[in-house]
Structure 1
Amino acid sequence: MAKTKTYDLICLGGGSAGFNAARLAASLGKRVAIVDGAKELGGLCILKGCMPSKTLLYSAEILHHARHAAQFGLRVRGAAADMQAVHARKRRIIGEFAAYRQRALAGGNFDLHRAFARFVDARTVELSDGTRLAADFFLVGTGSKISVPPVPGLAEAKFWTSDDVLDLDFLPQSVIVLGGGIVACELAQFLRRMGSRVILVQRSRHILRDHSEAASTVVQKAFVDEGIELFAGTQITAIRQDARGTTVEFQHDGRRIVRRAAHLFNALGREPNTAPLNLAAAGVRTRPNGQIVINRWQQTSAPHIYAAGDCSGPAEIVHVAIQQAELAVRHAFGVPGAKPVDYGLLLNVVFTDPQLATVGRLESDLQQRGVAYLAASYPFDDHGKSILMEAKYGYVKVLAEPKRGRILGAEIVGKDAGELIHCFSVAMARRGTVFDMLRAPWYHPTLAEIITYPLEEIADQIRGA
């Protein structure tokens, strides 16, 4: 048997968490390996997530504006999607991103093993090619995979996943979308704007259930206005398929509803991709859904094994995965000044149109914790720049501490919310107040100046207290 090769750190998975952990550890002079057996290197964000979806969404946004140019006094005739051209552009752009990451993986100051790994004990993994590797520390960053929940008929059905929708080179006539999360909403709107008939069936009372009801209601209205047939608060009772397509039967508002489409898109969520790792052999505890249990230092129940990213949560967000992975490395190797990830600064963006973005604490969180706060909001349909842009959906909402006005959180649903939210992100990272933000100049007319109205309202409340 070949001798087991040893490292200071082995990263399982070469996505955002594993790659950045390996890069940091190598810069500290450690012996590092990445193990990744995926057909393509690059991770979910580059290959099948953030970047391809946003490339397609932007194409759909341009088409949407062209088709509605008349509201700006413009004539644009014959605007239509060339799906093969859209697909080719997406492949070219993502290919460039992936090639850059692949060069970084291949040329890094660490070993790259193109195989899958499973633990044989707490210090050793066996690769799918028979090689055995050992390490003082491990970082598990194997991401997530498509979930197939126990919906009647779903497991037996032929359905699309987000991977399939992101790789379409033709325009489907009609699609039933199951789910109301971020992936379901972003890609349902993409399909509708490109020209497909879209029926969205959501189990919860509102789409985007992890966000406020007020914000999700704004996005829902935009979807319905654009022609998406949307059913929220449903219970699916049957899914049937034949040569002509898919039929979904569900209960909605006490009625039996049946809808039929050429294609079915399962967007009911993802689950941690941990089952093949044999984590039990290493003493790593997981939740029933496979999510790895971690502490504030990213350590698992086996203290020398860390986890980061989608496989451990709490948020499936790239910059959070990177923060977690780098924290794990610093903690493992005793780098001075390491601090746990501050989830009080958590950023979240949904790239629907209107976009939905939050930073810090949600209002529901503050209410559940019994934290005192002041709140103020201002609508986009009463703001000059958004009116002239015909970007009238949504609002900006600010949450602040009652005495000094320190920003606790913010919620924006509206045009370019994902860009505007960073105004609050910077202020909150510096523990800024509404007064601090109002000291800055805000140019007129800009979308960003809408932020000043709720800030001024809270400032007035504090001054008048």
Structure 2
Amino acid sequence: MNHSFDALIIGAGQAGPSLAGRLTAAGWTVGFVERKNFGGTCVNTGCTPTKAMIASAKAAHTLRQATNYGLPPAGDFTVDLAQVVARKDAIVAASRASLEKWLTQMPGCTVFRGTARFLSPTTMQVDDAVLEAKHIFLNVGGRPAIPALPGIDQLPFLTSSTILALEELPTHLIIVGAGAVGLEFAQLFRRLGSQVTIVERSPRLLPHDDEDVAAAVADILTSEGITLRLGAECISMALEDGQPVVHVSCEEDPSSSRGSHLLLAMGRQPNTDDLDLAKAGLQADARGYLPVDEELRTTVPGIWALGDCNGRGAFTHTAYNDFEIVAANLLNHEQRRVSDRLPVSAIYVDPPFAKVGLTEAEVRAAGTPALIGKRPMTKVGRAVEKGETKGFIKVLVHAETDQILGASIVGVGGDEAIHCIITAKYAQQTAAFMRRNVFIHPTVSELIPTVFGELKPLETAVQ
């Protein structure tokens, strides 16, 4: 059966549903395709479920720390992972159901369930239905990457998706990969009661961030009993006596890591391999991403790529901004571009790490004349009052223009406090502007003007 629309949207991740809402409100007819769960990675296997479980892990950790707050000890307790998962599942289900209801009841939007494949630059097939439109928006997302490590096909392993379905705590969880996914799951399961080992090829955590950030995050994890196996080269897998074993080559400790469960957290790959791209005249790059211009247009007129599949962000917030860029350019006749947005991100270990703009290492490497301000969380009253004093606030400022270059916050409330710096930087405000602000006491944020008031010259020679 053939169907004709003004637009086709493929994938119900962060960008797709909002775009459908804007287009239909503007009078467009939309064919919407989703082959599995509405909400994409964020709702189903990413932000929503992991942060729900991190909240449970935080509660368990706080209980164990009761005496630090002048309270009687909570005593020994065992976490029932099935109950934690049930809470997470209820939150996910509610979010997914709300989104699905919105789309299926949206006037002007027809939802198709199945896998969409190109037949031509303007037509796609979903099962027996042939869908035609002059505008096609690919929002197909991504999935955990499974690198071809030696022995990986010889043993069971978990991914960031499948680990969410576990209902019994691993005795010893081995995590290969120390990106955001690996670090968050490491602390989560350690706080729920598992022994945890992280195996990472890089000689330190977070190789794309500053060394002081990496050291602070490592301290957070090791202080809770998580084992770090860094500088692990020649990683290979084996199944010995029914248990997964990770063989590594480390200068300090070449011994293998044996555990009850293995989690692969080694990046993600876009879901572009089953779209029959060639029939539309499209070609993905070597990693599977669809190249796009500043307005998210692919190399084929009338086809856009949004979200994780375009390689221009791979965050929920960048995917949503992709929708905003496309909608503004198409419907409002504004010129919004990918390069307008600032590089911002966070890793939700506890306390979290958040950043905006350039790192200290990038400023040094560029030879930019700069000033730096830094304050440990031990000197932030709100952190002391909460009993959470790990980490620091760090800001970087251009020494000649006074413009904000970047900031990193490792510490309690850092994922929220960073936003005042993000907003100021986006508005192209200066350090002087930040110093003049009056923030609410007692908060973590109130020390940010103070940090901007304690700037010192940064030696820009590469160190």
Please, what TM-score do these two structures have when normalized by structure 2?
0.94
> What displacement does 1:199 show?
0.9
2:61 alignment partner in structure 1: 64
* Native 8 Å contact 2:435 2:450 kept in 1: no
* Native 8 Å contact 1:139 1:325 kept in 2: no
2:142 alignment partner in structure 1: 144
Which of 356, 360, 380 aligns to 1:359? It is 356
2:196 alignment partner in structure 1: 198
Q: What is the letter of the counterpart of residue 435 of structure 2?
A: L
Structure 1 CA distance, aligned partners of 2:209 and 2:340?
16
- Judged with a 3 Å threshold, the aligned counterparts in structure 2 of structure 1 residues 173 and 375 are, in CA distance, closer, same or farther, namely same
Which runs of 5 or more residues in structure 1 are unaligned? none
> What displacement does 1:255 show?
4.8
2:433 alignment partner in structure 1: 436
1:424 alignment partner in structure 2: 421
Which runs of 5 or more residues in structure 2 are unaligned? 459-463
Q: What is the letter of the counterpart of residue 229 of structure 2?
A: F
Which of 400, 405, 408 aligns to 1:403? It is 400
Q: Secondary structure at the match of 1:441?
A: coil
1:374 alignment partner in structure 2: 371
Q: Secondary structure at the match of 2:208?
A: coil
Which of 407, 412, 420 aligns to 2:409? It is 412
Structure 1 CA distance, aligned partners of 2:270 and 2:91?
27
Q: Secondary structure at the match of 1:150?
A: coil
RMSD (Å) for aligned C-alpha atoms: 1.9
Structure 2 CA distance, aligned partners of 1:84 and 1:69?
24
Please, what TM-score do these two structures have when normalized by structure 1?
0.93
> What displacement does 1:223 show?
0.9
- Judged with a 3 Å threshold, the aligned counterparts in structure 2 of structure 1 residues 366 and 7 are, in CA distance, closer, same or farther, namely farther
Structure 1 CA distance, aligned partners of 2:353 and 2:285?
29
* Native 8 Å contact 1:375 1:399 kept in 2: yes
What is the percentage of aligned positions where both structures have the same residue? Answer: 30
* Native 8 Å contact 1:124 1:134 kept in 2: yes
Which of 92, 96, 99 aligns to 2:97? It is 99
2:315 alignment partner in structure 1: 317
* Native 8 Å contact 1:141 1:308 kept in 2: yes
Moved over 6 A (4+): none
Structure 2 CA distance, aligned partners of 1:299 and 1:269?
25
2:461 alignment partner in structure 1: none
* Native 8 Å contact 1:343 1:360 kept in 2: no
* Native 8 Å contact 1:377 1:397 kept in 2: yes
1:250 alignment partner in structure 2: 248
Which of 218, 221, 243 aligns to 1:220? It is 218
1:115 alignment partner in structure 2: 114
Higher mean C-alpha deviation, range 75-84 or range 355-364: 75-84
Aligned residues: 456
Structure 2 CA distance, aligned partners of 1:424 and 1:63?
32
Deviations 1:19-58 (A, max 9, x none): 12211211221121111111x2221111111011000001
> What displacement does 1:252 show?
0.8
Structure 2 CA distance, aligned partners of 1:108 and 1:210?
42
- Judged with a 3 Å threshold, the aligned counterparts in structure 2 of structure 1 residues 9 and 364 are, in CA distance, closer, same or farther, namely farther
Q: What is the letter of the counterpart of residue 29 of structure 1?
A: G
1:233 alignment partner in structure 2: 231
- Judged with a 3 Å threshold, the aligned counterparts in structure 2 of structure 1 residues 84 and 255 are, in CA distance, closer, same or farther, namely closer
Q: What is the letter of the counterpart of residue 112 of structure 2?
A: H
Deviations 1:162-197 (A, max 9, x none): 122222222111111110010110011101111101
Q: Secondary structure at the match of 2:322?
A: helix
